[in-house]
């Protein structure tokens, strides 16, 4: 049966395997031993069935256990998304293995109508196929993309725009079986507001520091 379903979110539990053995972990049943689920991995048939059914997923969560203990399953999922041309807006791997430490001065939340949004994508195409089929270059022009590098082996195309525009070009090029690699940035955005919140925050911090220095 052919489905065309749209999901706001889909969570796939890659495995319940984990190398941390946290006794409070919600992934384990309280009355079962910690190693009760060792070796359990989602079956490829289940993954196939999911991406045969769903055509648009806003957020795909890959969880565990520790999903990075089975990177081959994550690779299989990504390959299946490309093969089935499923439109996935965002993928998150929930993992305890990878920890990012960053310094943040201030964080704000904005809705889409409060910011200017762009994404950037690069498409690596097989040059022999580009030369053989003029429709490929035509598709690049029609989508407002630019050819930024050409050599006998590959051609690099750059595209800026919204997610729908970038994915539209990808699907168009993929019809010609010429895409060797494809990468897309996350959203980059600036606010429409005339108020610069970071400047205000830094000014408040400066005044607070000066007041503290004067008291001393």
With contact defined as beta carbons under 8 Å apart, do 180 and 127 qualify? Answer: no
Token pair of 92 as six digits: 């998150």
User: Which pLDDT score is estimated for 134?
Assistant: 94
Could you report the per-residue pLDDT of 188-215, keeping only the tens digit for each? Answer: 888 888 877 777 777 887 888 788 888 7
Letter string b/e over residues 67-89, b meaning 16 or more CB atoms within 10 A of that residue's CB? bbbbeebbebbeebbeeeebbbe
| Helix axis angle, 71-84 to 44-53, nearest 10° | 30
Delimit the domains of the chain by residue range.
Answer: 5-93, 112-189
Could you report the per-residue pLDDT of 139-157, keeping only the tens digit for each? Answer: 999 999 999 999 999 999 9
**pTM higher than the cut 0.75:** no
Q: What are phi and psi of 41, to 5 degrees?
A: -135, 145
User: Which pLDDT score is estimated for 57?
Assistant: 87
Is 85's pLDDT higher than 80? yes
Chosen CATH of 112-189 out of 3.30.70.1150, 3.20.20.80, 1.10.3720.10, 3.40.640.10: 3.30.70.1150
d(CA 177, CA 171): 10
> What's the chain's average pLDDT?
80
Is 24's pLDDT higher than 80? no
């Amino acid at each position: 049966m052919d489905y065309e379903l749209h999901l706001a979110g889909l969570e796939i539990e890659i495995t319940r395997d984990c190398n941390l053995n946290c006794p409070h972990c919600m992934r384990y049943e309280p009355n079962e031993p910690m190693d009760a689920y060792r070796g359990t991995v989602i079956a490829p048939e289940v993954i196939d069935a999911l991406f045969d059914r769903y055509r648009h997923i806003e957020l795909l969560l890959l969880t565990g256990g520790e999903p990075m203990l089975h990177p081959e399953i994550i690779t299989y999922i990504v390959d299946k998304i490309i093969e089935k041309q499923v439109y996935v807006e965002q993928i998150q791997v929930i993992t305890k293995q990878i920890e990012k430490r960053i310094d943040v001065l201030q964080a704000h939340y904005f809705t889409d109508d409060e910011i200017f949004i762009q994404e950037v994508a690069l498409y690596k195409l097989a040059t022999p196929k580009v030369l053989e089929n003029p429709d490929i270059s035509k598709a690049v022009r029609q989508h407002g993309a630019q050819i930024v590098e050409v050599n006998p082996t590959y051609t690099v195309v750059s595209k800026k725009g919204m997610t729908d525009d970038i994915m539209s070009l990808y699907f168009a090029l993929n019809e010609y079986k010429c895409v060797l690699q494809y990468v897309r940035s996350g959203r980059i955005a600036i606010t429409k507001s005339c108020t610069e919140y970071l400047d205000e925050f830094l000014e408040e911090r400066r005044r607070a520091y000066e007041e503290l220095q004067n008291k001393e």
